[in-house]
Amino acid sequence: MLRIDRSAEGKDTSTGIVVITAANRIVESSRRMSKLDTFERVKEAGIIPAIRTSDRSEAIKAAEAIRAGGIPIIEVSLAPPNALDVLDSIAAALSGSMLIGAGTVVDAEGVRQAALAGARFIVTPGFSAEAVAKAKEFGLAIFAGAMTPTEVQTASAAGVDAVKLFPCFATGGVRYLKALRGQYPHVEFIASGGIGLDNCEEYIRAGACAIGVGGEIADFESMAAGSFGVLTVRAKRLREAIRNARGLRESLSFNIGEGR
């Protein structure tokens, strides 16, 4: 018999049940994908779609719909009740075909629980040194939220893989991202908050390595109604927009020399 235990660190000899411990699960996951591989896949896709739901079946269908739209990445928010079970279910069902991460993680314990549930990357709304340290311990990529230059510097110094600029709509948007990129050219930025099909290309052209989206793809109403085909259409459109923006940015770089 097999069960997953998020706290146990050994074998239950009294029952004969084999317990999958933190160490076992993380070691096995690390064999499949390194932290660097994870971040490269995120940058390649250019989009991190997030879902918020307490319904495991709904979450799996939403993730499958997003994958069908050409985006093989999903971020499961830990804010709703039962979120860890949702993350665990998605990881069990789709880890072979999707890169699965946890969002709205605010502390080290959240990182630990997400890792044991199958997350390969962590997204935080703000900066937490403890969360960054725990992500490193588990070999997970971490994208930490920041808004001010001081927060960006602090997150970068702590060794985050990317800074999640959040919330973009409240900070000056594309112009603010450009200003930060000018001061911190070595920092990778993931733009998030108020980004959709109408403005995602601007953020990519401004230098974001990826964007984070939520209801712009997986809104509550569509998921509750079972309209998962809508999510596939939105994913396809956003993926194409990112590709178009990158093509234009590469063309401009070739013609005028980016960063000179």
Judged against a pLDDT cut of 80, whether residue 33 lies above it is answered with no
The CATH number of residue 182's host domain is 3.20.20.70
Looking at residue 251, what is its pLDDT?
57
Report pTM: 0.84
As for how many domains the chain has, the answer is 2
Cβ within 8 Å of residue 16, ≥6 positions away: 1
Residue 160, token pair as written in the block? 């985050």
Give me the domain span that covers residue 112. Answer: 33-256
Please state the length of the chain: 260
Determine what percent of the chain is predicted with pLDDT higher than 70: 82
Cis (ω within 30 of 0) for the bond into 167?
yes
SS3 state at 18: strand
* 8 Å CB contact between 32 and 41: no
Q: Which residues are catalytic?
A: 75, 164
Residues 119 and 38 in one domain: yes
Q: What is the pLDDT of residues 86-122, one digit of tens each?
A: 999 999 999 999 999 999 999 999 999 999 999 999 9
Mean pLDDT for 142-154 is 96
Residues 114 and 10 in one domain: no
What mean pLDDT value characterizes the chain? 86
